[in-house]
Amino acid sequence: MVSELLQTFLNKPVQNYQPTTTIEPDKYVYRLRVDYDDESVTITDLLEAFVRDPQSAGVQDLIIGQFNTDSSESTYEVVDKLVALKESFKELKALFIGDITYEECEISWINQTDITPILKAFPQLEHLQLRGGEGLSFSELAHDKLTTLIIETGGLRPDVIDQVNAAKLPNLQKLEIWLGDDNYGFDSTIEDFKPILSGTLFPKLTWLGLMDSTIQDEIAIAAADAPVLKQLKVLDLSMGTLTDKGAVALLKSEGIRKLEHLNLRHHFLSEAMMEQLKGLGISINLDDKEEEDDDYRYVEVAE
């Protein structure tokens, strides 16, 4: 999941950018990342070199990978430079900050920052993807055109959930959140997700992922009876600690049976429960059955 850098992004091949690269924005999505073997080139250097290419004016998709070889540094410099160069990225529609493998930096060590300046600087943005929850915040989570928001963490703090609950994203269609483990910052209760599950927060939402959670049973039980199900096509409860307790609620839910796809990959379900779930009559992912160790269950991505 975080063991390899992206090879494709939004159905386009990804290519690492070098200052000698000739940009072809119609063919590739470019990833800008620093190299441990060459600390003389900074992420700021790469961004400045990138926009000097006349073809960069047509770039609609951009990935920021490893942004600093010092894991204590945050993405503030990345955000600040992108905002400063906003006139060079007028067509930007998709941005991923944090395409970083665990070998480069564990997800719980990736230091993000306030992402609001990005939202304000790029009015055409439709897809925003972020990896790393440390320091992550949205002083104002508002955007008229954003359709996809993906937040990948090993432990998401409750205050960020509060900021999502206060969001003004009228065109959001896909929300995916990796909640993580309480050892790395996750400390929310099921009550914190009621606004998202209400169906009123994001009226155009059709894809909801509340994933990678140590309270996956509670989320499944709440989601099975949630008003938001009436508008969803995809519900993603993968990567977490789901057991038969949560799955029973999914089985009993009429709303679940109306989904196009239910993702439960990486779970702790019994074989008997898996067979019952297959009878829901919808597309369902039950891959990666995990085994408890003395009642210990673990999320897929934490540290």
pLDDT at 13: 98
Using CA atoms of 5, 10, 13, 17 in order, give the dihedral in degrees to the nearest 10.
Answer: -60
Concatenated DSSP letters of 78-97 = HHHHHHHTGGG-TT--EEEE
> What is the total count of domains within the chain?
1
Whether residue 151 lies inside any domain: the answer is yes
pTM above 0.85, yes or no: yes
Higher pLDDT, 127 or 295: 127
pLDDT at 69: 84
Share of the chain above pLDDT 90, in %: 93
Whether residue 6 lies inside any domain: the answer is no
- How much is the average pLDDT of 41-69? 95
Tokens linked to 167: 């969001």
Report helix, strand or coil for 222: helix
Q: Identify the band that residue 39 occupies on the pLDDT scale cut at 50, 70 and 90.
A: confident
- How much is the average pLDDT of 48-52? 96
- At 174, the amino acid letter reads K
CB 76 within 8 A of CB 44: no
- How much is the average pLDDT of 15-33? 95
CA distance 112 to 114: 7
Whether residue 85 lies inside any domain: the answer is no
pLDDT tens for residues 154-169? Answer: 999 999 999 999 999 9
State the CATH number of the domain containing residue 183: 3.80.10.10
Residue 246 has pLDDT above 80, yes or no: yes
CA distance 119 to 99: 19
Tokens linked to 287: 């891959």
Give residues with Cβ within 8 angstroms of 234, minimum separation 6.
206, 207, 208, 209, 259, 260, 261, 262, 263
Residue 107 has pLDDT above 90, yes or no: yes
| Look-up of token digits 């000097």 | 52
Whether residue 187 lies inside any domain: the answer is yes
- Which stretches within the chain are classed as H helix? 43-52, 76-84, 116-121, 158-165, 194-197, 216-224, 244-252, 254-257, 271-278
pLDDT tens for residues 185-221? Answer: 999 999 999 999 999 999 999 999 999 999 999 999 9
Tell me what the pLDDT averaged over the chain comes to: 96
Q: Identify the band that residue 150 occupies on the pLDDT scale cut at 50, 70 and 90.
A: very high
pLDDT at 71: 79
CB 161 within 8 A of CB 193: yes
Residue 38 has pLDDT above 80, yes or no: no
Whether residue 232 lies inside any domain: the answer is yes
Whether residue 244 lies inside any domain: the answer is yes
Whether residue 288 lies inside any domain: the answer is yes
Strands of 8-9's sheet in order across: 8-9, 12-16, 29-32, 61-64, 94-97, 127-131, 148-152, 174-180, 207-213, 234-236, 261-263, 283-285
Of 133, 130, 198, nearest to 161 by C-alpha is 133
Residue range of the domain that includes 275 = 147-303
Whether residue 273 lies inside any domain: the answer is yes
- How much is the average pLDDT of 265-273? 98
